[in-house]
Amino acid sequence: MWIVIAAALLTDQITKAIITSNLARGESWPDNGFFRATYARNSGTAFGLFQDQGFVLTIVSFIAVAMLIYFFRGGGIRSIVVRIAIGMMIGGAIGNLIDRVRLGFVVDFIDVGPWPIFNIADSSITVGIATLAILTVLFPEKLSPNFDRNAPEQEQTASSDLPSSEDAG
């Protein structure tokens, strides 16, 4: 998972550095088209919500990262897919948190048609959340902290050793 966190974080920060050093704010490359790189500053959250709430969003981001790390480290999750999803979410959250602390806003640049402009960190967070949502619906057992598809089935608990009502009569 640490490799996934590092990959998401580094890709996010490197792409943002490329954009900020090559484009002026509001400039796009190419000038027209469905897919463009457009340098934008976002002082809010996804989709431009909660603009100019930098302090609150920074605190919320710190809490979110701490909770994700706690969930991962304390959960004993063995599913590689869940670990990758959580790693993507942590890496993306740290990437945007770095921008908020360092710049006071988040650098966005992926401009796709009518969709709001976003960045690699946003993508990592979204893909991580979508993966966990799909797993929750289709494969809830993969979210169990003790899930291990290679492990033999758990033996019955000690309560099954108690005599049943048939034994008593």
Catalytic center residues: 108, 122
CA distance 8 to 88: 6
Contact between 97 and 14 (Cβ < 8 Å): no
Locus of tokens 């289709």: 138
CA-to-CA dists, residue 97 to 61, 86, 118, 122, angstroms: 6, 16, 14, 11
Residue recorded with tokens 């890496």: 91
Task: Count CB neighbours of 6 within 10 A.
Answer: 13
118 secondary structure, DSSP code: B
